[in-house]
Structures are given as structure tokens and as C-alpha cells.
Amino acid sequence: MCRKAYSAPRILLALCLTLVGFAAGLAALVLKEPEVAHHQRVGRETGLPVPRFVSLKSDPANVRQGPGFKHRIKWIFQRESVPLEILAEFDGWRKIRDFDGATGWIHRALIGPARKAWVAPWERAQMFALRSEPRPDASTLATVEPKVLVSVNHCSGTWCNVTKQSFDGYIRQQSLWGVYPNEVIDDRSVF
């Protein structure tokens, strides 16, 4: 019986090529996943898009380390109507992110579909015009400072109609945290 002898360098080369091919295939899947996930992912509990924005409808509200009452409380929201981004769903729990980027889990009973937004919480001193119409040259109804909480009535993808106390006007969508870039809002079924 005759066996063909394989040299160690040939075996090593074949193994390296196999690993490189596997890594390239895995990298292609990983790099493609966020695009698919952003546009087509839905929550396993609600069937609604994930991620999506909602708002806090109750205060105080405990944010927990994991999905369940047995998990420790990370922090407590002391203000209702705060916009939150839902990142995941598990049973009656929603993994959320706030505008600072902090994440945790909150029970679904504490959130609602009303759309709220922070006016440019990343800014420090710039003021933002609340316009009478969705145009940059429309008259200014009021100026709003950063970190002001507004109610979002609808958005066109570039402008949002918002309400703050007795003011109702338009602000550039890119100036809000609580709506996605280019998101069109005319339906409140986001719970």
C-alpha cells in the first residue's frame, strides 16, 4: 500500500487558506447584518420595528440591568415623557437607550407610543428656531434652547411639527433626538 506524503508546509497552507475563506465569509455576513437589521428587524413580542422610539408614560420608572423584576435597578427616571429608543424586546420588557447612550431594561407598562424628542441635547449654547412653516425662511415663532423636551406631531423626513406648551411649529428633524434621520411620522402605532 502506497501513501502520498504531504509536507507540513502544504498542510499549513491549506489550513490557512481554509481559515481565511471562513473568516472572509463570516466578515461579509457580519458587515451585511446591520443594514438588514436596521431596515427589516421587528420585535419578537410586538412585531413592531426595532429599533424604534417611544416615550416614558410614568414616573418614577425603574430601569433594570436585565429583563425582569429580579434584576437590580440601574437608575430611576424621575420625569415622564422622556423619549427612549427601544433596542430589543423580551416578554414584557424592552431594552432601551436614552439620549446619553445609557441602556437598560424597562417594563412595557411604563412606556407609551407618544412621540417626544429632545431638542439637540448634544449642543450647549446654540438656539433653534421654531418656524411657522417647514421652510428655513419661514417666520420664527420662538427660539428653543438645547435639551428642551417637545411633543412630536408629525415629521416629513426633513422637518418635524412639534409642540412645546402653547407653541406649535416646525423644527429641522436633524435637530431632534427622538426621531430618526429621514423618518416620516404620520402614524402613532409605535408601541
**Each residue's pLDDT tens digit, 161-190:** 999 988 899 999 999 999 999 999 985 544
Domains, the chain, in order of start with CATH, read: 52-114 (2.30.30.40), 117-177 (2.30.30.40)
Q: What is the pTM of this model?
A: 0.74
Looking at residue 96, what is its pLDDT? 97
Looking at residue 171, what is its pLDDT? 97
Looking at residue 59, what is its pLDDT? 84
Q: Which residues of the chain have pLDDT under 50?
A: 1-3, 16, 19-20, 22-39, 189-191
Looking at residue 58, what is its pLDDT? 85
Buried b (16+ CB within 10 A) or exposed e, 16-55: eeeeeeeeeeeeeeeeeeeeeeeeeeebeeeeebbbbbbb
Contact status, residue 105 vs residue 89, Cβ threshold 8 Å: no
